[in-house]
A and B are shown apart, each in its own frame.
Chain A
């Protein structure tokens, strides 16, 4: 193992000697163990040994950044020279800054050392479970990894955060096949630091596989109507990503194109909706410990009871815009459960869709979205009628949040997020005409 603290101290000295008035840098050492399954068969065992030095310097209020994965003296000196030259060629801006000095901390999260033999056995067990319980599933690809990371963040305000973390991730891509019938592909992801349970019991994997098999039989979907869509935890995460990117992120606040620019402290969603960013929650595996600007990460609400409480901003854009920086910059989204069971939620739908995956164009900056409802089911008169194909949905992301019908009692925790099913009304649904 490399003495990454020595690399950090050397970097600091070189940056200061080169005239950086402020700087921050992260030294990381990583080890990855990965098994791949392709076409339903084990195909690859991969071990990677990587490292990185990522640095940002501010000279005369100009910013430059550099990155290298080499730790010899010449490489570090080269990266520092690149960083400083970039800063010198930059544009001065008073908004560039780093966090004030924070309490120095050492974090130890997850399963730092992998149990490769048990990990392999759990993976083989998952393949066996899928073959036995879901014989119609064809595994296009499965990638299971353990990532071990040791990193040190330092800045010129005296902050030092050291992180030791390790976790297992399981990522599957599959479809169902029966005779000539085939479904769209579907992906499931799990992030965990424990190997005490079969993988098939984690997250929503078992239900995802069952739903995919059920998509083999489709029902015709014709015409166009305005109806209710139920977003599953997986598709809800995709929509939340677009909502945050379009309305609450750095670029749209800096460009002043966000339609929420004047909405801080005001109602932007149904009052039953609270969206929190919680990397410190016990259900989140190896959550963010500090931000890229050097603040200790804290949990916060993006939206509480429908009121916009924060944007997801870096320190730079916060300084440019006058808003506060986000207290963490993770996507560890938690939406707590509501009071309606999924069964009741579906029973109350006159006509609509359960959306398993949305394959859409990048929503416009006004929030207009349009795309194909993939891995989705038609609901009529409170009953699931069957899977749909070639069905499009369109609407507006901002309107969606105000047209909430119900939040499910059930939630899915996959290690990265904790999300329920949510039903939204007034979405245009159109089949092939």
Chain B
């Protein structure tokens, strides 16, 4: 467990400024097995101390790769000097940030560390299963990972706390070829919050997921290109979660609003069908823990849910303490940092479209000519809300029934236009959390949603 070298340094905080002091240890374990070759087998650890000081509208930050009382004093001094440098040269003349009322924060517990052989043996077992059961595949890869963060946060006028956040995943990639010799690929990630040995106790428990993935790639092998155009589609929960994060979530991060995002002039306006509700959850949703719970952010703000869209109306943004002051809003714990040497930025946590009342089967049955889009390779979006997702698994829908599988394609649209076309919402939310959101720093995030019927542009060939 990370030893606390910083809590007793509060007496060194300068007066008249806002100060954050953080001590952090990050750990990652990774095993990569490609075609049975163990190409990656690594254990990585980094730790250090950082300080950030807010003075009259500008920040000074400093970090050092050391966890000690001396390190804390060094970064406090450097961050204070940097804030002073900026204040002298830039002089924005803003006052102090509002004080954050403190509340009890759940304390993290020690993160257990599995030996590397657990990761290697697990990957070997899955690789062996794939090789033996599906010898016709052209190639396969298995990746076993864990990454964890442990932080001690101490602030001048907010909450303090000790946070632990481990997560672990298995990624399986399968490759084959179409009849014409075109290579195709599908992958599946499995896992979530928790250490590797908690999440993965027996490789056999994952075999059904691999079987399902194999069945999908065999369907895709016989797949067709989607017909390009503006089409009615059913987005799976995986896809609507990505939409929630990429196409809407980023545009309502307050720093991007200040940078000119489309959400700036859209506050309190209709941006979606009244069936659409969107929330960035902190730690609990629908009575259960979210995939990656956040209880306290790196500015010392206790985390609570941020309601972004209610019945189709854009109701709020996600904030840091500074942006909340600017917009006259309440900060809700979205300011997070990845490494000890990173400053907190406004980040999503677990962003989800809320479920509706329709059954997935009924939604599919309602489509005469369209597509059911299930998984995505990647997604990008613009601050205008224009988005693009790569789709690597989907099916045609003809006369309310699933048809042929699709080869890789892309969908695109403008979020606040596309969301107005949503006219059916399923009653079940599907969560994912294996990726990293990229915004200057990587950040683990959860995203989720129900199936949606809507209209988007789909790329064909």
Contacts and interface: CB of A to CB of B under 8 A. Distances in A.
Interface in A46-69: 46-52, 62-69
B115 A68 contact: no
Contacts of A70: 45, 47, 65-66
B166 to A, nearest CB: 17
Interface stretch (B31-39, B96-104, B308-316, B362-370): B31-39
Contact of A93 (B38, B90, B120, B229): B38
Contact of A143 (B78, B255, B341, B440): B440
B296 to A, nearest CB: 22
A371 interface: yes
B183 interface: yes
Interface stretch (B5-13, B55-63, B196-204, B268-276): B55-63
B47 A140 contact: no
Contact of B459 (A46, A86, A389, A392): A392
Contact of A177 (B120, B260, B388, B414): B260
B228 A68 contact: no
Nearest to A394: B459
A13 interface: no
B341 A48 contact: yes
Interface stretch (B394-402, B404-412, B444-452): B404-412
Nearest to B440: A143
A432 interface: yes
A21 interface: no
A64 B116 contact: yes
Contacts of B236: none
Interface string B23-52: 000000000001111111111111110000
A364 B378 contact: no
A389 B386 contact: yes
A394 B382 contact: no
A316 interface: yes
Interface in A213-269: 224, 250-251, 254-257, 259
Interface in B253-310: 255-256, 258-260, 262, 265
B139 interface: yes
Nearest to B230: A433
B357 interface: no
Most buried by B among A88, A91, A138, A141: A91
B259 A39 contact: yes
B2 to A, nearest CB: 13
B403 interface: no
Contact of A140 (B42, B66, B92, B259): B259
A138 B260 contact: yes
A257 B176 CA distance: 9
B200 to A, nearest CB: 16
Contacts of B133: none
A428 B41 contact: no
Given A44-B58, A120-B89, A85 B120 contact: no
A42 B388 contact: no
A38 B115 contact: no
Nearest to A83: B43
A184 B183 CA distance: 33
A432 B38 contact: no
B412 A392 contact: yes
B116 A85 contact: yes
Contacts of B45: 67-70, 78-79
B306 to A, nearest CB: 20
Interface centre among B255, B258, B412 (most CB of A within 10 A): B412
Given A371-B459, A390-B457, A43 B43 contact: no
B41 A90 contact: yes
Contact of A361 (B44, B86, B390): B390
Contacts of A224: 228
B428 interface: no
A366 interface: yes
A43 B440 CA distance: 15
Contact of B185 (A90, A120, A182, A364): A364
A163 to B, nearest CB: 19
Nearest to A389: B386
A64 B41 contact: yes
B139 A257 contact: yes
A224 B40 CA distance: 44
Interface string A344-387: 00000000000000011110111010111010000000000000
Given A43-B58, A433-B229, A255 B141 contact: yes
A33 B65 CA distance: 15
A38 B382 CA distance: 17
Given A66-B44, A360-B410, A370-B410, A365 B184 contact: yes
Contacts of A361: 376-378, 388-392, 408-410
Nearest to B89: A120
A86 B116 contact: yes
A38 B44 CA distance: 32
B124 interface: yes
A10 interface: no
A189 to B, nearest CB: 13
Given A70-B66, A316-B39, A361-B378, A141 B138 contact: no
B64 interface: yes
B34 A255 contact: yes
A45 B388 contact: no
A38 B46 contact: no
A87 B410 contact: no
Contact of B116 (A43, A82, A359, A368): A82
B41 A50 contact: no
A175 interface: yes
A123 to B, nearest CB: 10
Contacts of B228: 224, 392, 394, 428, 430, 433
Interface string A153-182: 000000000000000000001010100101
| Top-6 shortest CB links A-B | A361-B390, A140-B259, A89-B117, A39-B258, A67-B44, A65-B42
Given A66-B44, A140-B260, A389-B386, 11 more contacts: A44-B58, A63-B38, A91-B36, A185-B382, A224-B228, A361-B376, A364-B183, A366-B182, A368-B408, A372-B410, A432-B457
13 contacts: A38-B255, A38-B258, A42-B58, A50-B65, A65-B43, A82-B116, A86-B116, A89-B117, A141-B259, A185-B384, A256-B139, A359-B412, A392-B228
